[in-house]
A and B are shown apart, each in its own frame.
Chain A
Amino acid sequence: MVAKRKIDPFFWIAVFSSCTVVGFIIFPLAEMVLQPSVQDLKDTIYDPDVLGSIGLSIYTSGMAALISFLIGTPFAYLLARKDFLGKKLVESIIDLPIMIPHPVVGIAILGLAGKNHWLGQLMQQVGIQIMGTVTGIVTVLTFVGLPFYVNTVKAGFEAIPVRLENISRSLGASLSETFLRVTFRLAWRSMLVGIIMCIARAISEFGAVVIVAYHPMIAPVMIYERFTAYGIKYSQPVAVWLIGVSLLLFLLLRICSLPKEHQT
């Protein structure tokens, strides 16, 4: 008779923990998604305010991701490829927005963009308004989303052997040509993942945005407003739509970032 293999108790602890974690995340969300009636959901999505706020959430998060892509990519490349004095410090500074309480981020940006600061005065002179504007929302979302983009893309660049770039240079390609023909071509997936991470972080931001721009209303602010003004029943359908649209968006981006074939 074959002896029954003894299963280590740690395996059961792991299974129990996994169920707890998954349940902890799924239950509240499932409850919220299942609460509103179909009619409620229908009425909500026909409300132009709701559509507008979800649209604004996606637009501002997308802009934050685009800005992160444009300024974060060369920066992440520098961090991945070069060693310099104070690099650790710079890396810690990048992580700061992850640690700072969100309202503090909003207050910090307002402090800089306010009338009492020379930068705020300068911005006003050239017509840039932060308080209560889309520009303000994008600024705040870039602030909180950028670290996620930079860290993800930096890891992507680090995974590309520097020798490939050396070979490209030795064959006659300049640094920028090498970046475009080799590095970018090999790292675009990690950039897409970085964009997803950045949008995910930005779309969920509430605390910093509510300080800088209560209006125009992004979806999380609208959900909060409806909750405080009318209660849980009115806020839930908006939340369900936000979750649904975000999920669809991330799914699409994830599919795009999947490798066509398994690379060795």
Chain B
Amino acid sequence: MIEIKDLFIKFPGFALQDINLSIPNGEFFMLLGPTGAGKTLILEAIAGIVPITAGHIFVKGKEITRLPPEHRGTGIVYQDYALFPHLSVLKNITYGLRYHKNDPMASKKRVTRLMEQLGLKPLAQRSTHNLSGGEKQRIALARALAVNPSVLLLDEPLAALDPNFREDIRDLLKKLHQEVKTTFLMVTHDFAEAMFLGERMAVLNDGKIDQIGPVSEVFHKPATPFVAKFMGIKNVFHASFKHTKARVHNLEFHLQSPPEENRHYVAIRPEDIIISRNGTLGNDVNSFQAKVMGISDRGPYYEVSAGTGDVIFTVMLSKKDFFKSELQKDKDIHVIIRSSAIHVF
């Protein structure tokens, strides 16, 4: 278990503040945020690589805040692999074994098992040069896990990989986590990665945590406009609320239930908006007349912006739906949004 209490790190021009996290044993926890939000800094603070200004860090109930990196029991994997260039694959993997007073047989067994799981056996005697990114990252994973750390810190381990390797390593990470039962704390800026791998996540925005929760909850029910945007929700509007109605400029939305107090925004995922030639009526459906303002081809799907007055919706359409709807710029259409698709926060 990792527990971070009131972590504060100050650098010239940047501060990481009020970081409070509690990650149970064996969880796959994701730390999400844009570049420069301070994600890597949290990892390096846990690993003891950067000095912290204030706060406390506990691993498995033991305070490690002032311990040197070698006594923390935290493994770390970087996106650029950071393999020791002067050592063979096997020597990279077994580098840390001598510092851990484990039963040598058990250590050997663990390394053999890891190398099998990660498909590294044929590479054991090779030099680390001229290996693919995927192979290098698997070696880095094996090296970190060989010493059986209490927590594995992963700093964007998929970011530097080619797309085809990325999926392999992503699947492998999930499998590995289920098998080794170590706590994984992974940093990423890709919410799809976080959704696939993580059980819970924290979203970091400019040195502060905006939201912590199960991944699907953060994905579907973001707590701040920043988190909503980061989760790919492109329709986030400031709203005023009355009973089960939300007003955004000139539009009135029917909500499923009256919102709680102190709610200021509505958010609608772009894939939850339907474009139709005809409007629909009903209490659980919102239908607005709109005009197609722009269409952009995004490869696997189309993104359509549809405007009605001051409000512009961004709609995601599958290629099939797009061709069926025969959409064109400036065409008059109806935008249909189910009340259940409107998230209020």
Query: Which residue numbers of A lie inside 8 Å of B, CB to CB?
Result: 161, 163-164, 166-175, 177, 181-182, 185-186, 261, 263-264
Contacts and interface: CB of A to CB of B under 8 A. Distances in A.
Given A166-B47, A172-B147, A263-B129, A186 B85 contact: yes
Contacts of A185: 86
A167 to B, nearest CB: 5
Interface string B67-102: 011101011101010101110000000011011100
Contacts of A173: 70, 95-96, 99
B130 interface: yes
A161 B81 CA distance: 11
A171 B82 CA distance: 13
Contacts of A170: 47-49, 69-70, 72, 74-76, 144, 149
B257 to A, nearest CB: 49
Interface in B104-148: 129-130, 143-144, 147
Given A163-B78, A182-B84, A264-B129, A171 B147 contact: yes
A164 B99 contact: no
Given A163-B78, A264-B129, A169 B49 contact: yes
B114 to A, nearest CB: 14
Interface of B: 44, 47-49, 68-70, 72, 74-76, 78, 80, 82, 84-86, 95-96, 98-100, 129-130, 143-144, 147, 149
Per DSSP, chain B at the interface is loop
Nearest to A168: B95
B69 A166 contact: yes
Given A161-B82, A186-B86, A264-B129, A166 B76 contact: yes
23 contacts: A161-B80, A164-B82, A166-B47, A166-B49, A166-B69, A167-B76, A167-B82, A167-B84, A167-B144, A169-B70, A170-B47, A170-B48, A170-B69, A171-B70, A171-B75, A171-B95, A171-B99, A171-B143, A173-B96, A175-B68, A181-B95, A264-B129, A264-B130
Contacts of B144: 167, 170-171
Given A170-B48, A174-B68, A264-B130, 8 more contacts: A163-B82, A164-B84, A168-B95, A170-B76, A171-B99, A172-B100, A175-B68, A186-B85
A163 B134 CA distance: 19
Contacts of B129: 261, 263-264
Contacts of B86: 185-186
A191 to B, nearest CB: 14
A164 B85 CA distance: 9
- B82, B98, B147 — most chain A CB neighbours (10 Å): B82
A118 to B, nearest CB: 40
A172 to B, nearest CB: 3
Contacts of B99: 171-173, 177
Nearest to A178: B70
A180 to B, nearest CB: 12
A163 B78 CA distance: 8
A169 to B, nearest CB: 4
Contacts of B49: 166, 169-170
B124 to A, nearest CB: 18
A87 to B, nearest CB: 15
Contact of A163 (B75, B80, B143): B80
Nearest to A169: B69
A231 B209 CA distance: 81
B127 to A, nearest CB: 8
Top 9 closest pairs, chain A to chain B, by CB: A172-B99, A171-B96, A169-B69, A163-B82, A170-B76, A172-B96, A166-B49, A172-B70, A167-B82
Nearest to B143: A171
A195 to B, nearest CB: 20
Contact of B70 (A174, A182, A186): A174
Contacts of B100: 172
A11 to B, nearest CB: 36
Contacts of A168: 84, 95
A54 to B, nearest CB: 37
A1 to B, nearest CB: 45
Contacts of B85: 186, 263
Contacts of B95: 168, 171, 173, 181
Contacts of B76: 166-167, 170
A163 B86 CA distance: 15
A170 B68 CA distance: 9
Contacts of A163: 78, 80, 82
Nearest to A175: B68
Nearest to A166: B49
Nearest to A264: B129
Nearest to A162: B49
A162 B32 CA distance: 24
Contacts of A186: 85-86
Contacts of A164: 82, 84
